[in-house]
Structure 1
Amino acid sequence: MGSCIICGKSVDGRICDLHEEDVVFEFRGNQPDQLTVDRYYRGTVDGYAEFGVFVDIGDSVTGLLHRSELDRRLESLDWESGDTVFVQVQQVRDNGNIDLGWSIRQAEAEFRGTLVDDPAKDAPYLKEDESGNEDAAADDDSAADESGRGQCDDTTEVTGRSESQSDRRDATVGRDAEDAGQTDEEPAETAAATTTESTATSAGADTGSSGEGGAAATSGGSGGASAVTEEPSHVAIETLSDRVGETVRLEGVVESARQTSGPTVFEVRDETDSVECAAFKEAGVRAYPEIGGDDVVRLDGEVRERRGELQVETEALVKLEGDERETVEDRLADALRSQAEPDTVDPIADDDVVAGLTDEVREVATAIRKAVLEERPVVVRHSATADGYVAGVALERATLPLVRDQHDQHDAVYHYFDRRPLEGGVYDMDDATKDVTRMLEARERHDEKLPLFIFVAAGGTRESLDGFELLDLYGAGRALVDDIEVDAEVAETVGALVAPAAADAAETTSSTLAANVAAHVNDDVRDDLRHLPAVSFWEDTPEAYAEAASDAGYDAEAVREVREAVALEAFYQSYEDKRELITDLLFGEGDGHGGLAGHVSEQFREKLDAEVETAEANLDTQTLDDTKVAVLDTDAFTHRYEFPPTELLLDELHRRHRDDVAAVIGVSEDELHIRSDAPIDVRDVADRAREWVPNAGLTATSARDGKLEYIAGERSAVLDTVIDVVADEVA
């Protein structure tokens, strides 16, 4: 039996099943069927083909990374023959062909360890096991040898995606147990004595600390007599560079705890900075197992500098509870808010609606900035509409540079910011279940913190409460940006909210609100965002935003092209963020004429006009007490799975026929959509209609989108009743 090099769990070999995808393997075989599917392997580029890249895995095996597996265009790859790359084996076919997958980790340091996959061996092994470890062999009685872990070199560094400093320090904290209490300057002959002292110190710390949970218990050296020393001074982490060699006391929150082949490493953050603290019990054995992420602690230890990085050698570590915990949490919260909060709120254009939401804009911007500083992922959930995409991208544009500044990994922008479109304006249990599953898996596998979820142009009505409550059960943060009057129940479930009052709802868009929030998340991108509000208005663009777009180089025609292009691309692969494509459409062209946005916009107009022409020929206009209502059978007279979607088609029909009819109703087998200039509450429509068709299962499934659902068998009765109710309400 061995121990997993990441979590320390006892396993047959060196990696547990849970963490196998977190390490990279070096292949020593010579047959395709010796590869293991789903593992990540180091390879070298063999050459290009029209359909992908050939990659050599080891010396004798070559696989194909098909262009469809890449996260970018094949021609944009800067790989050259012989370059080292990292790929995942997806399938080994019966004929020996190997299908490879793309890895977003393209540096060995971004994996959490390296193992050798040699078919001649029973299990993968550490690279140094091939020749043995001379340092470990020199001391057969050492705790490191007894644990079977030995001294690890750079190939066995254990790093986590959420641990921003660990990849620079693992080579230090992961050394042999004998080195855990030894500085770089200590002579080799003192190592054993230092280890004895360090072990005794840690053992004393494990049993608890003296006094009020903090005085370091230290050993008396070779004699073994214990004595209580004077309590060290509490210092701020940002001052540790001036205290190398001193024993200090820190108070803060544990950002992460990970087990190396030597000590346990805790990353502790206070109100000024964070630092890694090494605690040793015995090689590969967890010290202070009762302490984990998000615990508030008091730690005593000696400040040391190892290979250019500060580290605290832990002598005592205790979890704070009650008033002591609350005092530290309040201090950290005040400092974090002070750092994250924008100094002032200055709207990107003259807008009375935004001016009335100054405090709300500040709160949501602060929440996002705090999440980045806490190294907490930010997940934006927005509707799959033009307004939703533009609003989501505004926040993305502002947040990504902050994530890059906060993290060293080049792929941190994919781990700490995610934009996930929603099919409709409701965040239901299906959506919430997906999110909870992903965030719990990330916490289990990569020690990631629970995300902050930002809901944009979605989630503002009580139909989303079930989804919000599931997130709340796990303590995930929530904020909301929407252009409708948000239901009171929803407002109570989110930590921060930007939404207009009912009277202002028709005068703004979610993109307008989100762009103003984004400008205060990151003032450096303010100029990039000036044209986005204008893009989100299908008609009656406020003059202030039209001028802002013009100043940014987007005239009215360019704004229209960008809006239509985003609307078209929002429909296709609607569950994908399409980060690079949408960025190109929104930021890549200036005035856009004849470019990417212009080209896609032509397709939008052709497809929409063709569908509208068919729909108009089949509109059924009914008159009830001088009120005209137009009805479209969307099952019979639209292409249901092609562009445009029903919602966008009905919006366009309503814009074109609002002077002739008071409302447009789209009806399908079990759904009904209502469009009108009159303020229609679809929940009230459902309640009134239900009195006449009580067995139709009639419900308002999206008050935001004007959508009702019912049992298909009662379609005719529901339609007749709803037409009567709508005609009465708009009369």
Structure 2
Amino acid sequence: MTDIKEIVYKLGPGCELEDVQEGNVYVGTVQGFANFGTFVMLNNSVKGLVHKSNAITQHQERTDILVMVAQVRPNGNIDLREVVLDDYSTKLVSRQVKTTRLSDLGQKIGRRVTIEGELGQVKQTSGPTIFTILDETGTENAAAFVEAGVRAYPEANTGDIVQISGEVMKRNNQLQIEVSSLHRLDGDEADIVRKRIVEALDQKSEPDDIPFLVESEVLTKLRPEMRKLAKIIRRAVFTQQPIILRHHADADGISAAAAVETAVVALIREHVSDSDSDYYLFKRSPSKAPFYEIEDITRDLDFMLKDSVRFGQKLPLILLMDNGSTEEDMPAYKVAQVYDLDIVVCDHHHPDEIVDSFLKAHVNPYHVGGDFGLTAGMIGTELARMINPAVERQIRHLPAIAGVGDRSDSPEIPQYLALVADEYPIEDCKKIALALDYEQFWLRFNDGREIVKDILNLNKNPIRHKRLVTLLVEEALAAIAEQVKTLMPHVESRTLSSGAHLFIADVEMYAHRFTFPPPGKTSGEIHDILCKKYEGEPVVTLGLGPDFAVLRSRGVMMNIPVMVRELREEISGGGVNGGGHLVVGSIKFVEGMRGEVIDKLIAKISLAPVA
């Protein structure tokens, strides 16, 4: 004859006091101790007391204990008696819990609800622990309090699927769930909830299929990859994954980044309840070089890892604009790979295939037969419209500013200029681009979020916008005029074997250092003057420093990225690196090899065909 095992019950998540039956034995968890007995949790919300006269063995906090329910008092208190069993079977007590969607919380104020979703963030304050939970309909905060500054439910972490029960309250005009129980779901229970969220987010993240602002064969071919990138960014917003946007620190890069920033911040404010959410979920930073430097990734890692530890945030999505496409980005990408960071790129520099294995999406006109004439600001604005069509009116002038700032001669630039000509004529666009370059020089590594918005008139304060741009342009033009006046008498002229004019300007010896315009801008201004003087003829301008060279070309078909790689291989100990566009870029090297590097560079320029 088979012995019948004693049944021990286990209260499942969501079970309440009415699910407890007198006389049944339950498995519980020791919560704490008092002089008169031991407090035992039967699940995350039901608690009873084992009086010291009914205790049999010694226990520690968070250890399991078997208890029999002696009495459920009218006031809800549960009297327990410890039991010891050698052989028993466990039976789960389940309750069909009706869950509430987060989008419906506004109708449940003052009522108890149960939510199932994913933890997007866990933040410990000086008071309660704040859990940000997301489901297929949105995100909200839930506050759990043990004691001031003590982490509630330490077993639950960012990314976990949980079931939260509590009362819906309104704090500082924002909805919040006052948590009475939180249970981590595992196995099939978690899979069902996660699948539901993923399917809903996949549909919600799909960008609208809207027409471009202009007719463009290249943009049309880029549309699939742009939609892919827009979907990744939208999904990051909806799942509260922070976004770090890195961009080249010039008018084109700033315009591209400002367009996406406008779209993303508006989307965050619309879908995330925290009033300060756009400051901790979105960060924009300029990169001095037209690629993602080790210095950039180091700063970003320091920022993101501290926030991950302090605020329980997910690791961010890295978005690179007007940089990110070249072999020079590889060292930073390898560092990012160690931390499994997602990286996406929107760029118009000549791309290297080697970077694609590190990227989740890569928008670049060269991939579809275009070139750098379609600027990052143009692509970025169209991308921003896909991310959030509601911001179109605010940002539609940015492609024109980016185009004139980057001296684009693409088929798209006349269309973008015509689109905003009534409000932003071409001369105004040029002034805004110059103001951006001038102000970013003094901002250094800072984003200057509100200053940049004033320069671009994104704050919709036209009087301040006009006064600020006028002032910055006056200062910039005066600085440029002084620099050019000082440098022009020292510009060396040569005629190459190809018939092209080569002009060499030593921007270290004969130009003011550490002030505006910097070497790249100075070389560009000298180049513009010489192109006007030798109109219709091929011109190359070389701005030289002790360990760098800046190149500008008109009518000479160079390929600067290829030249950099050849020089690196050919000159042992030269330390050559750099990049840029095909005919506009910069090269770095060690100062002691300056003569050999420049001689070989000029020889390669001589071999380039002229248009």
Distance 1:285 1:413 in 2: 27
* Structure with more contact order per residue of length (Cα contacts < 8 Å, sep ≥ 6): 2
Separation of aligned partners in 2, 1:500 and 1:708? 23
Change (3 A) 1:592 1:228: closer
Match of 1:676 in 2: 553
Q: CA offset at residue 653 of structure 1? A: 3.0
Distance 1:196 1:362, change over 3 A: same
Residue 145 (structure 1) shift: 8.7
Question: Which residue matches 2:415?
Answer: 544
| 1:558/1:592 contact within 8 Å kept | no
CA shift, 1:522, in A, is 2.2
Distance 1:220 1:664, change over 3 A: farther
Which of 293, 296, 313 aligns to 2:180? It is 313
> Residues 237 and 648 from structure 1, CA distance in 2 versus in 1: closer, same or farther, beyond 3 angstroms?
same
Q: Deviations over 1:481-505 (max 9, x none)?
A: 1123432222332222322126422
Q: Would you say 1:608 and 2:487 are equivalent positions?
A: no
Indicate yes or no: 2:518 matched with 1:653: no
% of aligned pairs identical?
26
Change beyond 3 A, Cα 1:279–1:591 = closer
Q: 2:391 matched to which residue of 1?
A: 525
Match for 1:667 among 534, 544, 552? Answer: 544
Shift of 1:614: 3.5
In structure 2, the residue corresponding to 1:468 is in which secondary structure? helix
Instruction: Extract unaligned runs of 5+ from structure 2.
Output: 1-30, 52-58, 73-77, 82-89
For 1:380, the equivalent position in structure 2 comes to: 245
Distance in 1, Cα, partners of 2:211 & 2:396: 13
Conservation of the 8 A alpha-carbon contact between 2:140 and 2:272:
no
Match of 1:196 in 2: 48
- Aligned match of 1:617 in 486, 489, 513? 489
Shifted more, 236-245 versus 389-398: the winner is 236-245
Distance change (3 Å), C-alpha of 1:652 and 1:318:
same
State the TM-score, normalizing by the size of structure 1: 0.64
Structure 2 counterpart of 1:57: none
Q: 1:360 to 1:443 in 2, by over 3 A?
A: same
Q: 1:443 to 1:622 in 2, by over 3 A?
A: same
Question: Match of 1:722, SS?
Answer: helix
8 Å CA contact retained: 1:348, 1:526: no
Note the alpha carbon deviations across 1:510-547, whole angstroms, 9 max, x for none: 11111111122222220111211111123447221111
1:490 aligns with 2:367: no
Q: Which amino acid aligns with 1:681?
A: N
Kept in 2: contact 1:696–1:718 (CA 8 A): yes
CA displacement, residues 274-325 of structure 1 (integer Å, 9 cap, x when unaligned): 566678999987665433111234x3x655446785455337x34535x765
- Tell me if the contact between 1:255 and 1:293 (Cα under 8 Å) persists in the aligned partners: yes
Shift of 1:449: 2.5
Which structure 2 residues correspond to residues 110-121 of structure 1 after superposition, within 5 A?
none
SS in structure 2 of the partner of residue 501 of structure 1: helix
Q: Are the aligned partners of 1:701 and 1:709 in contact in 2 as well (CA < 8 Å)?
A: no
- TM-fit CA distance, 1:426: 1.7
1:343 to 204, 208, 211: 208
3-state SS of 1:562 partner: helix
Decide whether the 8 Å contact of 1:457 with 1:483 is kept in 2. yes
Q: Which moved more, 1:400-409 or 1:628-637?
A: 400-409
Structure 2 partner of 1:629: 502
In structure 2, distance between residues paired with 1:425 and 1:458: 5
Distance (whole Å) between structure 1 residues aligned to residue 515 and residue 327 of structure 2:
30
Letter in 2 for 1:196: G
Shift of 1:688: 4.1
Give the CA deviation at 1:387.
1.1
The answer as to 2:516 corresponding to 1:643 is: yes
- Cα gap change, 1:198 to 1:417, in 2 (>3 Å): farther
State the secondary structure of the residue aligned to 1:676.
strand
Letter of the 1:652 counterpart? E
Q: 1:651 to 1:305 in 2, by over 3 A?
A: closer
Q: Does 1:685 align with 2:557?
A: no
1:507 matched to 2:378: no
CA RMSD, Structure 1 to Structure 2 (Å): 4.0
* Cα distance in 1 for residues equivalent to 2:147 and 2:518: 62
Find the partner of 1:232 among 96, 99, 109: 96
Question: 2:127, 2:147 within 8 Å by CA — same for their partners in 1?
Answer: yes
Maintained 8 Å contact 1:143/1:283: no
Q: Which runs of 5+ in 1 are unaligned?
A: 1-141, 147-176, 183-193, 209-216
Which residue number corresponds to residue 9 of structure 1? none
Q: What is the aligned partner in structure 2 of residue 570 from structure 1? A: 440
Matched residue, 2:8: none
C-alpha distance in structure 2 between counterparts of 1:580 and 1:279, whole Å: 36
Q: Are the aligned partners of 1:387 and 1:509 in contact in 2 as well (CA < 8 Å)?
A: yes
Report the AA paired with residue 344 of structure 2: A
Judged with a 3 Å threshold, the aligned counterparts in structure 2 of structure 1 residues 686 and 476 are, in CA distance, closer, same or farther, namely closer
Read off the aligned partner of 2:605 and give its amino acid letter.
V
> Aligned pair in 2 of structure 1 residues 359, 687: CA closer, same or farther (>3 Å)?
closer
1:715 matched to which residue of 2? 594
Deviates more, 1:666-675 or 1:350-359: 350-359
Partner of residue 7, structure 2: none
Q: Secondary structure at the match of 1:641?
A: coil
Q: In structure 2, what residue type is equivalent to 1:314?
A: S
Distance in 1 (CA, whole Å) between partners of 2:577 and 2:139 is: 51
Cα distance in structure 2, aligned partners of 1:231 and 1:380? 46
Shift, 1:368, TM fit? 2.4
Q: Are 2:128 and 2:144, in contact at CA under 8 Å, matched by a contact in 1?
A: yes
CA drift of 1:457 comes to 0.9
